[in-house]
A = this chain, B = another copy of it.
C-alpha cells in the first residue's frame, strides 16, 4: 500500500490580490525511490513574500510557478527513506520541497538537500533566522548598506523574518536601528523583544508628510541605510530623510506584488543626496551563504538573536496563511507545521 502525499497546487493565476481559489489540495501516491533518491517527511513549510511574484506569469528574475504543480517553497523535514549513501533515515534536512507532505528528491545534485544540526538550533530556524530570510538580511545589510557604527539604519517590515534579522545584525554593528511595522503590538515587540531603538507604526501615518515627520523624530541624525521590504510611500518618506551617501538595499517590493506599479515620488533625491540604490536576490550570491550562516547560526545558538514564528497548522492551512502574510498578519517567520 503506497503512502498518500497531499500537495497544494497553484491552479490559476491571481488577477490582483490572490485568493484561496487560486490553490487546490491534491492527493498523489508517493512513488518508489530510484537510486540516489531520498524521501523526506516535511515538518515545516516556509511561506515567503517572494512567492507572490512567482504566481504571476510575467517575466521576472525567476520562472513563474507552473500551474497545476506543487507550489514551490523552502522546507525542513526528516529523511524517512533513502537510496542515497549521503543521507540516512532520521537525518534532518532543509530543501525546496514545496507545499506538500512528502518530498521525493534526487539528492545527488549538490545543494538540493542539506543536512542540518538541530543540537543547538531548532529545525524551524533553518527556514528563518538561519536560512534564506536571515541570509537575505545579512547580504543586504553587509554587502549593500555596509553600515558603520553610529550610523542610522531603517528597515521596513521590521517584525518580519527578514526585517527582524536586519535590525539585530545592524545593532550588533553599533548602529541606531529604526523599524517600521504595522500596528502598536508589533512595534512594541520590535523594540522590546528584538531590541530596535525605535519602531514606527506606519498605519498611524497615512500620508507622506506625517510618516516623514515620524521618521525625522525617530532618526534625529537622518538615515544612512534603508533595507527596503515594501516599496510605496514608505520608500518616499525614507528618501526625504536620507543623508548624503546613504544606501538603500532593495529586497522586496511587497506593496507592488499585486501588479500595480508604484512610482517613486522623487528620484532626483538619488542625485541630490548621492545615494546608492541596489536590488539583489540572495540566491545569486551563494558564495557568501557560509559566512552569513556562520554569523547567524552562532547568534541563534548562543541566544543572542531573537525571533518569533507564526505557525499555521496543517497543509490545508497554507493558502490562507500565505494570504495573511501578504497582508502582514504574521509576526516574524510564517511557517506551516505539518508534523
The chain A residues found within 8 Å of chain B, CB to CB, are 60-61, 231, 235, 244, 250-253, 256, 261-268, 270-281, 284
Besides A270-B278, A271-B279, A271-B280, 17 new A-B residue pairs in contact (Cβ under 8 A), listed by A number: A231-B267, A231-B268, A250-B271, A251-B271, A253-B271, A261-B265, A263-B265, A264-B264, A272-B279, A273-B279, A274-B278, A274-B280, A275-B278, A276-B277, A276-B278, A276-B279, A277-B278
Contact between A250 and B262, CB atoms less than 8 A apart: no
The majority secondary structure among interface residues of chain A is loop
Closest B residue by C-beta to A255: B268
Contact between B253 and A267, CB atoms less than 8 A apart: yes
- A277 vs B269: C-alpha distance when bound (angstroms): 12
Q: Which of A252, A267, A272, A280 is the most central at the interface, judged by chain B CB atoms within 10 Å of its CB?
A: A267
- A279 vs B265: C-alpha distance when bound (angstroms): 16
Taking a contact as CB atoms closer than 8 A, the residue among B253, B274, B275 that contacts A268 in the complex is B253
* Chain B residues in 8 Å Cβ range of A250: 267, 270-271
Contact between A61 and B272, CB atoms less than 8 A apart: yes
Q: Chain B's nearest CB lies how many Å from the CB of A68?
A: 25
Contact between B274 and A284, CB atoms less than 8 A apart: yes
* Chain B residues in 8 Å Cβ range of A267: 231, 235, 250, 253, 262-264, 267
Once A262-B267, A267-B263, A268-B262 are accepted as A-B contacts, the answer to whether A274 and B61 lie under 8 Å apart by CB is yes
- A263 vs B244: C-alpha distance when bound (angstroms): 20
Closest B residue by C-beta to A53: B272
- A218 vs B296: C-alpha distance when bound (angstroms): 46
Q: Chain B's nearest CB lies how many Å from the CB of A263?
A: 4
8 pairs, A vs B, C-beta closer than 8 Å: A250-B267, A256-B268, A261-B265, A262-B267, A274-B278, A274-B279, A276-B278, A277-B277
Closest B residue by C-beta to A276: B278
* Chain B residues in 8 Å Cβ range of A280: 271, 274
* Chain B residues in 8 Å Cβ range of A281: 274
- A250 vs B60: C-alpha distance when bound (angstroms): 24
7 A-B pairs closest in CB distance = A271-B279, A263-B263, A261-B266, A264-B264, A264-B267, A253-B268, A270-B279
